[in-house]
């Protein structure tokens, strides 16, 4: 990962979401991107050239654009029509972004479009986040990585975030996934946690 001082950056064309430029690099804002927050409060997975990424919950393409600056290709899955319009603009300017309008809970919809990937990144705000991650692990190469951005309030508003965090870890471990790192994303994102795994 590229840092200038203690600031996380990526090398690519700017102007995606009004991000600052620093010495010719795009500043990766941890308040706008949970993945950037993970790299600042935890460790995460190094993004390297040649890496293939399946990104679930691509939204407007803010984080997708930074990931694309580092890796070979990003298969970006988004279900909502409005964010997809912005994502298409990101894909127009970054030819290694493949936008896919589909439901991440139904990976069979996009299975013909996606090759085996090195990293599965999930940022989907649905109650069954762990189940969605596990279903999409079918695309992961052996030894590949999963980063699950857990939005605890989207799982169950009645439960404490810490309880949901523990339950999600148990589900992943029971499915044979090795958890390498788990951390809260405060102060950048409240009640959000990152779970970094290896298949």
d(CA 164, CA 140): 25
Q: Is 124 annotated as a binding residue?
A: yes
Q: Is 46 annotated as a binding residue?
A: no
Q: Is 62 annotated as a binding residue?
A: yes
Which residues have CB under 8 Å from 123's CB, separation 6+? 34, 35, 55, 56, 57, 58, 59, 63, 149
Q: Is 194 annotated as a binding residue?
A: no
Name the DSSP letter for residue 199.
-
Q: Is 123 annotated as a binding residue?
A: yes
Q: Is 190 annotated as a binding residue?
A: no
Structure tokens given for 110: 């996009």
Longest dimension (CA), the chain: 46
Q: Is 125 annotated as a binding residue?
A: yes
| The length of the chain, given as a count of residues | 199
Q: Is 104 annotated as a binding residue?
A: yes
Q: Is 126 annotated as a binding residue?
A: yes
How many CB atoms neighbour CB 92 within 10 A? 10
d(CA 147, CA 26): 22
- The four Cα atoms 79, 81, 82, 86 give a dihedral, to 10 degrees, of 80
Q: Is 133 annotated as a binding residue?
A: no
Structure tokens given for 116: 């085996």
Binding-site residues for S-adenosyl-L-methionine: 62-63, 78-79, 103-104, 123-126
Annotation: binding site: 62-63, 78-79, 103-104, 123-126
């Amino acid at each position: 990962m590229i840092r200038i001082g203690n600031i996380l950056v990526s090398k690519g064309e700017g102007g995606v979401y009004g991000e600052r430029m620093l010495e010719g690099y795009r500043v990766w804002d941890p308040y706008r991107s949970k993945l950037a927050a993970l790299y600042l409060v935890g460790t995460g997975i190094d993004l390297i050239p040649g890496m293939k990424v399946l990104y679930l919950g691509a939204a407007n393409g803010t984080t997708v654009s930074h990931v694309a600056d580092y890796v070979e290709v990003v298969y970006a899955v988004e279900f909502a029509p409005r964010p997809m319009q912005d994502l298409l603009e990101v894909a127009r300017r970054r030819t290694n972004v493949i936008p896919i309008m589909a439901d991440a809970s139904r990976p069979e919809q996009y299975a013909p479009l996606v090759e085996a990937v090195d990293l599965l990144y999930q940022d989907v705000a649905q109650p069954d986040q762990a189940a969605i991650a596990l279903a999409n692990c079918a695309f992961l190469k052996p030894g590949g990585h999963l980063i699950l951005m857990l939005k605890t309030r989207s799982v169950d508003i009645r439960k404490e975030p810490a309880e949901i965090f523990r339950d999600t870890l148990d589900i992943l471990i029971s499915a044979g996934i090795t958890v390498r790192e788990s951390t809260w994303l405060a102060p950048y994102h409240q009640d959000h946690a990152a779970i970094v795994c290896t298949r």
